Structures are given as structure tokens and as C-alpha cells.
Amino acid sequence: MSTKIPIRNIYLMLCYAWRQLDSQHRQRVGVDHADNLTDLFGRILVECVNDLIEHGLWRDYIESTEEMAGLRGKLLVSPTIQKSLFKVGRAICATNEYSLNNRFNQLVLATIHAMIMVPTLDKAIRLELEKLTISFRGVTIGPVTYRDFLAVRSTRTNRHYFHVLRVCALIWEQLAPDDSRGKFIFEEFNRDEKKMRRVFEEFVRNFYKIECDGFEHIKAENLHWRESPHGTSKKTLLPIMKTDISLMSSDGYTVIETKFVPEALQQRVVGSEKIRSGHLYQLMAYLENIRRKRNIDPKGILLYPRVDRDIDERYRIWDLDVQIRTIDLTQEWTGIRRDLLDLVSLDKAA
């Protein structure tokens, strides 16, 4: 994208994408003083971990096996006999310790250490992160990758870790080993169209979930192919149809497909711009599927970030209303909010 989205707007987009909208928390992060995403995520991590410590770091029973003098915990008879330890007054026992050294705290602490090792991180933020490590005494750090965060599942007793682990996971997605031993480079994801595409989609969908109460359902919707029962081929070979955002109410049905691409229009011949055919075909396939299944006429919107100009085109295709729209993500947040609400004709605050 040639247009640079302000750090503050990226942060607010992430707040909606993660459904973390506490205004006091946003103010504490001090996003207005962040010049880059490295410092922004450093600040977010500081505040998330501070909240975690204030709530109370989670402890869990950790089982360990060790050789010891005397008996403690559960005696493991077989390995003790095999080593002839009874003769010297020792035994191998399994103990359960109520400890901070669980996988949740290990992942958080590993993320703190990784951010500390990013050379471009603001020194003041690095110092705050170093102070936070004191609360994690006794927690060990091992090798960590982004996939480790996908493997953990929070429960009722540690659900307050959900947000901080999501922040940590996104940080690890951006971290890459530096040439210097033990250092990391933070690859700012706003330069990665694939990652920004996901943020843009989740932001818009959750924005409507949070800001609009005029819809009965707002979700990413799985659509199914209307296959004849006489078909003999494998259904698993058919591509998945899933909308980015389906907004359903008693008054209508709207499908929004978010497209985070450098240009909304293509120019294959000089002076001849066209709507991206793949995007339009995809949207029309969704709309036609919904019309046949539900016997209604849904509305479709292709939504792009504005790059060099505004686009607001409206068509009637196959007797369905279709819009091609852009939204300026560089403007003040009140303007972004207004434009998104206006897009679905629900700007009651205007």
C-alpha cells in the first residue's frame, strides 16, 4: 500500500479486531507517542502484562520427578529400586508444586525477553519490560514459535490471559532472528499485505458487531454449493465459500467483502480501468448463492482502503445491488467510524 496508515488508526483497528475497547486502557498505552509499530507493540505488551500482574499471575500444579533424601510427594518404587537408592536413604519421588512455571507464563515471559532483544525498541519501553520480568521469577524460558500460541487453550480460571496471549502471538508473527546472536528484528506487519488483509477484515466485521445493533446476525458465513444429488465427484474438491461479513436483519441482507490491496481497480490497457474481475465474480457467486437458498435479494459491497482517490460506484447486476467503495484509513478516527456506519445506512450518531 502506498498510503501510510497512522499508527493510532492501526492500533484502534486492532482494538476492534481483538474486541478490546476499554477507553482507559487505550489512553494508558500512549499510542500517540509511538512512532512505529515496534514501540507500539512494546507499549501494548507493557500494559497487558501490567494488567495481568494486577489481576494475579496464574499458578498451576506442576508435576516434577526428582531424586531426594527422604520421602516427599508420591514415591516411585520401581525406579528407586532400580537405582538401589533405599540403601543410601534416598528415593525418587513425584511432587506437585503450585507454581508460576506453567506454559502460559512461559510464553508471556519469552515474549517480553524477545521484545527486549529488539535493538530498535525505545529504551524507556525496554526498561519497563525489564522491570516486569521480576514478577516472573521461577518461570523458565525455552524455545518459542508462533505455533506454540495456537496450542494453548485458556480456561475459566485463566481466561484473563486470552488478550495478552493474542498480543504475544501477533508479536511473534513479526519477530525474525537478527544476524547478531540473541537479537530479533521486528518486521512491522503494516508492510505485509497478507497480514493487514486479515486485520482489515476482522476490524470491519467486529466494528459492526460492536457499533451496530440494527442487525440480528453479523458474522463470517459459510455458504454451501447447491450440488445435485446425482453428482458423483468428491465434494471435498469444491472450494470453500465463506463471506468476510454477512449482515442479516429482518429488513435486508448485506454481504461485505473486504479487499486490502494496493489498487481497487485494474488497468490492463492504458486509459481503461476495470473493477478487479476476481473480486466481483467472488461477490456475485456469494450473492447468487444466498438468493437461491433464502429466496431474498441480498446487497453486495466490495470495500477497499482508499489509496489515491475515493471510489463509490453502484451497479444493478442480475437484479442485485452491488457497490464498489473505498474507505480512507488515514483520516481522523471519527471519519472512519462515520464512513463505516454510512456504508450500511446505520449512522444514527450523525
DSSP state of 235: G
Q: How far apart are CA 280 and CA 264, in angstroms?
A: 11
Nearest to 115 by CA among 155, 192, 157, 168: 168
Integer Cα distance of 274 and 266 in angstroms: 5
pLDDT of res. 270 = 62
Distance in angstroms (rounded) separating the CA atoms of residues 32 and 292: 49
The DSSP symbol for 118 reads -
Neighbours of 21 (CB within 10 A): 13
Cα angle 47, 52, 54; round to 5: 95
Q: Name residues whose C-beta falls within 8 Å of residue 294's C-beta, 6 or more positions apart in sequence.
A: 253
Query: Nearest CA to 338 among 328, 330, 326, 350?
Result: 350
* Helix residue ranges, H only, the chain: 7-18, 23-29, 37-55, 77-82, 103-116, 123-132, 146-151, 162-174, 193-211, 277-294, 333-343
| Angle subtended at Cα 144 by Cα 142 and Cα 146, rounded to the nearest 5 degrees | 170
pLDDT score, position 248: 92
Contact of 22 with 217, CB cutoff 8 Å: no
> Residue-wise pLDDT tens for the chain (350 aa)?
546 788 788 878 887 887 665 544 444 555 555 667 788 888 889 988 998 998 889 888 777 777 878 777 777 788 888 888 887 788 888 877 778 888 899 999 999 999 999 888 999 999 999 999 999 998 998 888 888 888 888 777 788 888 888 888 888 877 766 555 556 666 665 566 777 888 899 999 999 998 888 888 999 999 887 766 666 667 778 788 899 999 998 888 999 999 988 777 776 666 678 888 899 999 999 999 999 888 899 999 999 998 878 899 999 999 999 999 999 998 988 899 999 999 987 433 33
Provide the grid cell at 24: 482507559
Q: By the 8 A CB rule, do 93 and 154 touch?
A: no
**Whole-model pTM?**
0.69
Dihedral (Cα; 18, 23, 29, 35), 10-degree rounding: 80
Every domain range in the chain assigned CATH 3.40.1350: 193-343
**CB neighbours of residue 111 within 10 Å:** 27
Q: How far apart are CA 54 and CA 279, in angstroms?
A: 47
Matching residue, cell 479487499: 259
C-alpha count within 13 angstroms, C-beta hemisphere, residue 137? 3
Amino acid at 162: F
Cell of 292: 437461491
Burial-class residue 308 by CB neighbours within 10 Å (0-12, 13-18, 19+): exposed
- Domain 193-343 class, CATH top level: alpha beta
Q: Rounded to whole angstroms, how far apart are CA atoms 292 and 103?
A: 49
Q: Indicate the burial class of 200 (C-beta count within 10 angstroms; 0-12, 13-18, 19 or more).
A: buried
Phi, then psi, of 108 in degrees rounded to 5: -65, -45
Angle, helices 103-116/123-132, rounded to nearest 10 degrees = 150
10 Å CB burial of residue 138 (0-12, 13-18, 19+) is exposed
Region class of 250: left (phi > 0), else alpha (psi between -120 and 50), else beta: alpha
Contact between residue 301 and residue 281 where contact means Cβ atoms under 8 Å apart: no
